[in-house]
């Protein structure tokens, strides 16, 4: 289905859906911070071994009276999370002296120390400027947009060794308030507006059903058997054996009675039996014979009287 102007209906739905999604998507709020310099110093080519890290002013001059003066400034960015988006970053220097000139900012590429840097030990710097600004008045701010450079520092693309300040034209100079300047509000500043990385936490609940199939189960059984055998012997030599078996399997006891008839062959077992019986009766017969003889003698003696 299409509208009169030929625009597909689903396309209209898509546009409306995107508008709704954009309207309900939360926008991360930006943060603005004003940082003061963590280190600053300037060096002079005609005083190669001198350090000016504790001076209240910073000098930048290009071949003024035959000498160069270079300013170095560094800011501590450790408070800004890696991954933050730098909306804007402006370096602000308060001008205390100088004429109309163009001042350029360069990225410093090696380390340096405020209290020891000299012209002879000055750090290296990029040959390409980050930005250049024309300045011409006193007691005012010179502002340099170094957003891309600060973003690179925060991302870790470049190490943060600070910036170099130097006029682009020969015979030009400018002086700025340093971080030791008496009026703290005029000291070097880096005004940064940035957005912290947004962390989205998503909780996913997953239900896993596992089916375990046991193909075969092997059980270990302990079997205990106790046999009680009772034997009865009769004259006809037939033996009846009663066997009682007790079986214990998996905590269950079963009783089984086995009746077994055994008819062994003892050869001349019957004759031996009567022989044993006669042997047992012989003493008894002899005793009876003695008694009868004594009674006969007693009766004979009585008749003779």
Cα–Cα distance list, 295 to 244, 287, 290, 301 (Å): 59, 13, 9, 10
Q: Work out the pLDDT band at 265, boundaries 50, 70, 90.
A: very low
- Answer yes or no: do 105 and 243 share one domain: no
276: its two tokens:
């044993």
Helices (H), the chain: 9-24, 147-155, 269-304
pLDDT at 225 exceeding the cut of 80? no
Residue 169 included in any domain: yes
Residue 164 included in any domain: yes
Cα–Cα distance list, 153 to 38, 89, 188, 274, 303 (Å): 15, 12, 18, 127, 162
Percent of the chain exceeding pLDDT 90 equals 54
- Answer yes or no: do 164 and 241 share one domain: no
Please state the rounded mean pLDDT for residues 71-94.
97
Residue 179 included in any domain: yes
- Answer yes or no: do 102 and 174 share one domain: yes
pLDDT at 202: 60
Residue 145 included in any domain: yes
Q: At 97, which helix (H) or strand (E)? A: strand 85-98
pLDDT at 301: 72
pLDDT at 284: 73
Range with lowest mean pLDDT among 108-117, 168-177, 271-280 = 271-280
State in Å, rounded, how far the first CA of the chain is from the last one.
167
Region class of 269: left (phi > 0), else alpha (psi between -120 and 50), else beta: alpha
Q: Per residue in 142-178, pLDDT tens?
A: 999 999 999 999 999 999 999 999 999 999 999 999 9
Cβ count near 36 (within 10 Å): 14
- Answer yes or no: do 125 and 241 share one domain: no
- Answer yes or no: do 228 and 119 share one domain: no
93: its two tokens:
């220097």
- Answer yes or no: do 131 and 247 share one domain: no
pLDDT at 52 exceeding the cut of 50? yes
- CA nearest 104: which of 183, 172, 8? 172
Percent of the chain exceeding pLDDT 70 equals 63
Residue 14 included in any domain: no
Range with lowest mean pLDDT among 12-16, 18-22, 154-158, 300-304 = 18-22
- Answer yes or no: do 190 and 228 share one domain: no
- Answer yes or no: do 166 and 48 share one domain: yes
pLDDT at 292: 77
Q: Over the chain, what is the mean pLDDT?
A: 79
Out of 195, 210, 236, pick the residue that ends a domain.
195
Q: What is the tally of structural domains in the chain?
A: 2
- Answer yes or no: do 178 and 235 share one domain: no
- Answer yes or no: do 169 and 37 share one domain: yes
Cβ count near 8 (within 10 Å): 11
- Answer yes or no: do 140 and 234 share one domain: no
Residue 120 included in any domain: yes
Residue 295 included in any domain: no
Residue 215 included in any domain: no
Domain limits at 257? Answer: 221-265
9: its two tokens:
């209906």
- Answer yes or no: do 165 and 238 share one domain: no
DSSP β-bridge partners for residue 91: 144, 190
pLDDT at 5: 52
């Amino acid at each position: 289905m299409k509208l009169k102007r030929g625009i597909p209906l689903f396309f209209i739905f898509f546009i409306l859906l995107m508008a709704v999604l954009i309207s309900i998507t939360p926008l991360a709020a930006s943060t603005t911070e004003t940082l003061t310099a963590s280190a600053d110093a300037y060096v002079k080519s005609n005083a190669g071994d001198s350090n000016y890290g504790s001076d209240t002013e910073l000098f930048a001059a290009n071949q003024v009276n035959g000498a160069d003066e270079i300013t170095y400034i560094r800011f501590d960015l450790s408070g800004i999370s890696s991954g933050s988006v730098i909306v804007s970053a402006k370096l602000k220097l308060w001008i205390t002296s100088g004429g109309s000139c163009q001042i350029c900012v360069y990225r410093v590429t090696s380390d340096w120390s405020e209290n020891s840097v000299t012209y002879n030990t000055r750090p290296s710097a990029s040959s390409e400027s980050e930005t250049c600004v024309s300045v011409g008045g006193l007691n005012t701010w010179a502002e340099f947009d170094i957003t891309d450079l600060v973003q690179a520092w925060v991302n870790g693309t470049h190490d943060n060794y600070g910036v170099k300040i130097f006029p682009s034209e020969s015979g030009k100079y400018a002086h700025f308030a340093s971080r030791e300047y008496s009026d703290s509000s005029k000291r070097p500043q880096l005004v940064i507006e940035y957005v912290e990385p947004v962390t989205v936490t998503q909780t996913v609940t997953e239900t896993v059903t596992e089916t375990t199939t046991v193909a075969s189960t092997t059980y270990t059984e302990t079997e205990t058997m106790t046999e009680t055998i009772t034997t009865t012997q009769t004259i006809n030599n037939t033996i009846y054996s009663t066997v009682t078996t007790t079986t214990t399997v998996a905590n269950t006891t079963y009783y089984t009675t086995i009746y077994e008839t055994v008819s062994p062959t003892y050869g001349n077992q019957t004759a031996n039996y009567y022989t044993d019986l006669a042997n047992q009766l012989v003493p008894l017969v002899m005793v009876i014979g003695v008694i009868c003889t004594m009674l006969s003698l007693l009766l004979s003696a009585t008749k003779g009287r």
